Amino acid sequence: MAHNSSSPSVAPQQNTASLVSTGEDATSLYNAGRLAEAAEAYKLELAANPHDGRLLSNFGSLLCTTGDFEEALALLTQAVTYAPTLANAWNNLGNVLVELQRYAEATTAYKQCLTLNSDHPLALSSLGVALDRQGHHATAEKGHRFALRLDPTNAMSHLNLAVCLLAQGKYPEGFAEFEWRWQTTMTSHHGLDGPLWNGQPFEGKTLLIHTEGGFGDMIQFSRFIPLAVARGDNVVTLVRKELLTFMQTSFPGLHFVTAQDTIPRYHFQCPILSLPLALGTTLETIPFPEGYLKTIPAKENFWRTMLAADLKTHGLTTAPLRVGLVWAGSPHTGLRFAEVVDGRRSMSLAALAPLVKAAPNALFYSLQVGKQSSQAQHPPAGMALIDHTAHLHDFSDTAALAKQLDLVIAVDTSTAHLAAGLSRPTWVLSRFDQCWRWLARRTDTPWYNSLRLYQQTQPCDWTVPLERLSADLAHLNTAAHSVERTASDA
């Protein structure tokens, strides 16, 4: 989960007319979460008052919330032009500039807001977000803490602090602050009843652990389930059906269910991302970095046979370097913030063309599923890309294929967690404002011994990470061919 800019600043204004059938003005509708109606009402109000800085600011804030960043930028630029002393407008302008990854300009906007109102908690926390996105977490932390001194119950500011702390590896306090996520619009509440498990022994009782976030979150944090089991008699874990077989295989003897099953009665519940807090996890006590996931032997045999046939198809007598590729995440259609983040973490298959020169004799395997998988039909020139994804029905199938590969290269998505959790060499192409879990300015990670990070050095620019990765791939390919020649000579 990545943090967003703090809640947009909405300044009240007079209702100039009866603009909607209910008589409610745009800001009332916005505050009530009725965004589509509010947008229409703002258009009507602005038609009557086109130079009203507060209207422009509030409508721009709404459009930033819905992800219409360019239109929001235009409105907010007008807002600070017509109302240059309106602090909220400068804060909202900073928010949209952060989402556009124009961080220097965002910082200027937040500072102007704070010049007008030095005790503006949203601007302080949002400035922290801009600094966090650039990896300046220590400085950002000061802003988040100052914001919370001014507004101690602001859930979004707490969540922003949480992500800042987690990105620095300050896990005990970071995960404690992370519990505020349930009080923001960034996280939908799970809706499950029952007291939250806080790590206490529960002999004779049942704990329900349940899924949260995306597939990658569940795969990464499933490592904590055995530690929870050690503190009580019975643990039931609720997972999405696509993960059921993979989880059952990786943790034999443990009880997994899906939403289609009858959930047993339980005494405590815990979201999967709350387990590190309950278990007192620190950076030094992350369990199983050497790997913890398992595959089904019969599926492994299936893929061995398939890959052997691929050698014959390509006229090869010995196996070359075999590399799995994932170039895009899931767009999470309907979750606008997740869509925006996915756009920043994903790339096209064409962007991976430099890998061909680095490893011209390698066999590449598409592990890409979903809408973007169709790009495998048109690989970069010279790339021997094999697409067996029609045989990938769930994560246990993907795991069995990944286990046969020498390397998996992926953007920051669930397959990266799967491969690294299987102890396979995994190289992750990470966006500029990378996820907190990868920490700051590191190429390794305490979560997985076999994972290597290649982070963007500029927003939306894959040039540098691909250059680094391609150089490493060329060395790996040379080493693999040296081994082949040695074996052949013997």
| pLDDT tens digits, one per residue of 151-181 | 999 999 999 999 999 999 999 999 999 999 9
Assign 340 a pLDDT band (cuts: 50, 70, 90). confident
Higher local confidence (pLDDT), 24 or 490: 24
For residue 2, the model assigns a pLDDT of 45
Same domain, 272 and 365: no
Of residues 428 and 13, more confidently modeled: 428
Q: Give pLDDT, residue 31.
A: 85
Exposure string for 156-183, b = 16+ CB within 10 A, e = fewer: bbbbbbbbbbbbbbbbeebbebbbbbbe
Check whether residue 102 and residue 45 sit in a common domain. Answer: yes
> Do 342 and 461 lie in a common domain?
yes
Percentage of the chain modeled with pLDDT above 70: 91
136-153 residues labelled b (16+ CB within 10 A) or e (exposed): bbeebbebbebbbeebee
- Kindly report the average pLDDT of the chain as a whole number: 91
Note whether residue 15 is domain-resident.
no
Query: Is the model's pLDDT at 420 over the cut of 70?
Result: yes
Q: Is residue 189 part of a domain?
A: no
Is there a single domain that holds both residue 221 and residue 83?
A: no
330: confidence class by pLDDT, cuts 50, 70, 90:
confident
Measured CA distances, 356 to 207, 404, 454 (Å): 49, 20, 18
- Average pLDDT score over residue span 100-117: 96
484 confidence band (pLDDT: 50, 70, 90): low
Asked if residue 101 belongs to a domain, the reply is yes
Same domain, 342 and 409: yes
Q: Does the structure show a pLDDT above 80 at 222?
A: yes
Look at residue 397 and tell me if it is in a domain.
Answer: yes
Report pLDDT for 8.
55
Which pLDDT score is estimated for 4?
Answer: 55
Mean pLDDT of 112-131: 95
**Domain check: are 32 and 88 in the same one?**
yes
177 and 75 fall within a common domain: yes
> Residue 15: its pLDDT value, please?
31
Residue 11 confidence (pLDDT): 46
pLDDT exceeds cutoff 50 at 58: yes
pTM: 0.90
**CATH number of the domain that 86 lies in?**
1.25.40.10
Q: Is 8 within a domain?
A: no
Instruction: Indicate the residue among 150, 183, 216 that finishes a domain.
Output: 183
| Residue 336: per-residue pLDDT | 58
User: Does residue 12 surpass a pLDDT of 60?
Assistant: no
Binning pLDDT at 50, 70 and 90, where does residue 337 land? low
Q: Which of 328-332, 368-372, 400-404, 416-420 has the lowest mean pLDDT?
A: 328-332
Q: What are 128-149's pLDDT values in tens digits?
A: 999 999 999 999 999 999 999 9
Domain closes at, from 235, 263, 285:
285
Same domain, 121 and 231: no
- Domain for residue 19, yes or no? no
- Structural domain count, the chain: 3
pLDDT of residue 5: 54
- The region of weakest confidence among 287-296, 331-340, 358-367 is 331-340
Q: Domain for residue 240, yes or no? A: yes
pLDDT for position 490: 45
Does residue 127 sit in the same domain as residue 208?
no
Q: Are residues 154 and 53 in the same domain?
A: yes
Question: Sorting pLDDT into bands at 50, 70 and 90, what band is 17?
Answer: very low
327 and 406 inside one domain = yes
Among the candidates 250, 285, 320, a domain finishes at: 285
Which of 7-11, 347-351, 369-373 is predicted least confidently? 7-11
Res 482: pLDDT: 66
65 shares its domain with 144 = yes
Instruction: Taking residues 432-440, report their average pLDDT.
Output: 95
Domain span including residue 244: 202-285
Q: Given pLDDT bands bounded at 50, 70 and 90, which one contains residue 338?
A: low
Q: Which percentage of the chain shows pLDDT scores above 90?
A: 83
Q: Is residue 61 part of a domain?
A: yes
